């Protein structure tokens, strides 16, 4: 418990640092020497604070969604970006933009979540039909499925001249997050809380259908609940900040190495570690080429791919 409080304190330090990193002068001296209507306070309230909250909510929710996905699929190398879920959510958001452009963002997010849920169901259906002799075949199937769905999405975007918009959705970036444009991420926080409440059920479901049924749980309902959580989180993050790769893969695996596989115990750690990791990557992206900014998806992708290779080689070495 003491280590958990230390992790929360470190995350809060990163959040405070995120508030004061940027091109505009938002130092403590500038805030105390100006009125609430002046530029430093406006930048803090309209841009920096919503951005920091969006980073925390996105990081924690996506990390928890990755953990839920790994439990229900029973594979440590699965997360929304390696199972075709992010691509399905992007396809749904594109079709919503084309067919119902006047709908509010919440309605488009629900359509995106519906497509993400359908993509997840298709992924699980393919897994039941494919003989899986290697642990890496599961994410390989997901990456291939995501490539097919992504190709269809790119073709539709090309035909309707929406490729720049599609690129913006797939390129995770928090620079455009302002007050009034991040509130959907509270849906992701609610899903993370729901995952914590149902953590014991997901832990049991991760042991297989027969074991779950013998303990008196409805395996199908637990699976549907997990898929809904993953779909809503993926859609909320996509329509707010874009796609963030590898986040739901590396954070649960690193936490599992330190804490174990009991989901009731690991969910708080995964949420805090995910938020801290995305905060650190966002700060790094803002300062490495200051005053320019590197998108969060690039920084997380580079670090995440390196960690993914480490986990892959570690698994093969132990095998």
| CATH number, domain with residue 271 | 1.10.3470.10
Chain length of the chain:
319
Domain count, the chain: 1
pLDDT at 295: 87
pLDDT at 280: 92
Residue range 177-200: mean pLDDT, rounded: 87
Query: Which has the closest alpha carbon to 250: 286, 216, 281?
Result: 281
pLDDT at 36: 63
DSSP state of 44: I
Which tokens sit at 52? 């920091």
Percentage of the chain modeled with pLDDT above 90 = 18
Q: How many CB atoms within 10 Å of residue 147?
A: 12
Highest mean pLDDT among 37-41, 146-150, 222-226, 290-294: 146-150
Query: Which has the closest alpha carbon to 185: 230, 246, 232, 227?
Result: 232
Q: What does pLDDT average to over the chain? A: 84
pLDDT > 90? residue 272 = yes
Evaluated on CA atoms 229, 294, 161, 184, the torsion sign reads positive
End-to-end alpha carbon distance in the chain: 33
Least confident among 128-142, 178-192, 193-207:
128-142
Percentage of the chain modeled with pLDDT above 70 = 92
User: Model confidence at 260, in pLDDT bands (50, 70, 90)?
Assistant: confident
> What would the pLDDT profile of 23-81 be if each residue is shown by its tens digit?
776 766 666 666 666 677 777 788 888 999 999 999 999 999 999 988 888 888 888 88
pLDDT > 70? residue 194 = yes
Which residue stretches of 27-133 are H helix? 28-32, 39-43, 49-73, 85-99, 105-129
Domain that holds residue 96: 2-318
Non-local CB neighbours of 157 within 8 Å, separated by 6+ positions: 94, 163, 165, 166
Query: How big, in percent rounded to 5, are the helix, strand and coil portions of the chain?
Result: 75, 0, 25
Query: What's the pTM?
Result: 0.87
Element (H, E) at 249: helix 247-259
Least confident among 3-7, 142-146, 215-219:
215-219
pLDDT at 259: 82
Cis peptide before 291 (omega within 30 of 0): yes
Residue range 227-235: mean pLDDT, rounded: 89
pLDDT at 27: 67
pLDDT > 60? residue 317 = no
CA angle, 235 as apex, 22 and 220 as ends, to 5°?
140
pLDDT at 210: 78
Which residue stretches of the chain are H helix? 2-19, 28-32, 39-43, 49-73, 85-99, 105-129, 137-159, 163-170, 185-197, 199-205, 209-214, 219-241, 247-259, 263-287, 296-318
């Amino acid at each position: 418990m003491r280590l958990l409080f230390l992790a929360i304190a470190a995350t809060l330090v990163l959040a405070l640092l995120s508030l004061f990193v940027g091109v505009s002068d938002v130092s403590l001296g500038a805030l105390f020497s100006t009125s609430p209507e002046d530029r430093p306070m406006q930048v803090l309230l309209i841009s920096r604070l919503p951005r920091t909250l969006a980073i925390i909510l996105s990081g924690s929710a996506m990390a928890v969604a990755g953990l839920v996905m790994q439990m229900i699929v029973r594979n440590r190398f699965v997360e929304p970006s390696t199972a075709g879920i992010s691509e399905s959510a992007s396809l749904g958001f594109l079709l919503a933009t084309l067919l119902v452009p006047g709908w509010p963002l919440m309605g488009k997010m629900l359509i995106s979540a519906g497509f993400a849920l359908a993509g997840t169901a298709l992924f699980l259906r393919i897994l039941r039909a494919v003989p899986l002799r290697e642990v890496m075949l599961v994410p390989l199937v997901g990456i291939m499925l995501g490539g097919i769905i992504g190709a269809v999405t790119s073709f539709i975007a090309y035909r309707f001249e929406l490729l720049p918009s599609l690129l913006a959705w797939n390129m995770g970036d928090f620079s455009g997050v302002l007050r009034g444009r991040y509130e959907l991420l509270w849906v992701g926080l609610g899903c993370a809380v729901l995952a914590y409440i149902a953590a014991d059920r997901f832990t049991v479901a991760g042991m297989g259908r027969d074991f779950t049924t013998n303990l008196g749980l409805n395996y199908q309902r637990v699976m549907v609940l997990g898929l809904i959580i993953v779909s809503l989180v993926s859609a909320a993050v996509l329509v707010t900040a874009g796609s963030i790769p590898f986040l739901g893969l590396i954070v649960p695996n690193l936490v599992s190495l330190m804490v174990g596989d009991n989901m009731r115990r690991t969910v708080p750690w995964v949420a805090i570690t995910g938020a801290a990791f995305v905060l650190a990557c966002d700060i790094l992206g803002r300062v490495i080429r200051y005053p320019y900014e590197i998108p969060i998806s690039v920084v997380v992708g580079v670090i995440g791919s390196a960690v993914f290779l480490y986990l892959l080689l570690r698994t093969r070495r132990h095998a």
